[in-house]
Homo-oligomer: A and B are copies of this chain.
Amino acid sequence: MTTKRGKPSGSAKLREAVCRANRELAATPGLVQGTFGNVSGVDRAAGLFVIKPSGVPYDELAPARLVAISLNTGQVLSGKLRPSSDAPTHLELYRSFDCGGVAHTHSEMATAFAQARRDIRCLGTTHADYFRGDVPVTRALTATEVGGEYEKNTGLVIVETFKRGGVAPDDVGAVLVAGHGPFTWGADALAAVERARMLEFVARLAYGAELLAPGAPALDGFLVDKHYRRKHGKDAYYGQL
């Protein structure tokens, strides 16, 4: 592994944005506990992404302390600190999904669903406003997958989940890793954080509904599409022009 320790890789703009997104993640009540959670952002033209260093408290973050990683080799390009241990998971998501930012949290209710190994079913329009259908849970990793390149395999099993289920990563920008917790992605680092926040809210709504009415009917597909399209794509009519 060759790493350059000179001029930091990743533009100042990207580092600034990813640093702000990590702070935003930490500032949102209920999203992170201690140093759990990390956000990254990608610069595909430069062939790298920038991510939080491992175990560093959020209030000690600075753009220069972030770690840049090559999309091609997965190696650290610059930065004296070690990257988040989840960096190989982010890498696989950037390689397979067309997104600009990835966020990972252990937010309470989304993690409870991940531990219960249940999809967060799309039961309401709040959910459909942000996620076009159920947020899927992955299968559990095998002993071989955990014993090998664990974090990379976590990314691969996420990708597998979307392929197997025929779900477009663009439509449902979130997943629950079984027995672990959620990853979210979006147009950039901040969008990934915003989605992590909405995922937790949607998980709380679904939790209440599932306990009140186990097996409550899913939202009709035409209503899911209606709400998702109110906010996304060319026919969106939510917000200002």
Contacts and interface: CB of A to CB of B under 8 A. Distances in A.
Contacts of A11: none
A102 interface: no
Nearest to A82: B240
Contact of A238 (B55, B123, B239): B55
Contact of A146 (B126, B147, B201, B220): B220
A6 interface: no
A108 B54 contact: no
Copies in the complex: 4
A27 interface: no
Interface in A163-212: 179-181, 198, 201, 204-212
A97 to B, nearest CB: 22
A125 to B, nearest CB: 5
A222 B116 contact: no
Given A54-B238, A209-B112, A240-B55, A201 B33 contact: yes
Contacts of A201: 33, 108
Nearest to A177: B125
A19 interface: no
A123 B179 contact: yes
A217 B125 contact: no
Contacts of A53: 240
Given A126-B111, A140-B220, A212 B210 contact: yes
A209 B115 contact: yes
Contacts of A81: 240
A55 B239 contact: yes
A212 B56 contact: no
Contacts of A207: 112, 208, 211-212
A181 B34 contact: no
A209 B35 CA distance: 22
Contact of A116 (B54, B141, B213): B213
A238 B85 contact: yes
Given A56-B239, A112-B207, A140-B220, 13 more contacts: A108-B201, A108-B205, A111-B124, A111-B126, A112-B204, A113-B209, A115-B209, A117-B213, A123-B179, A124-B179, A147-B226, A179-B223, A211-B212
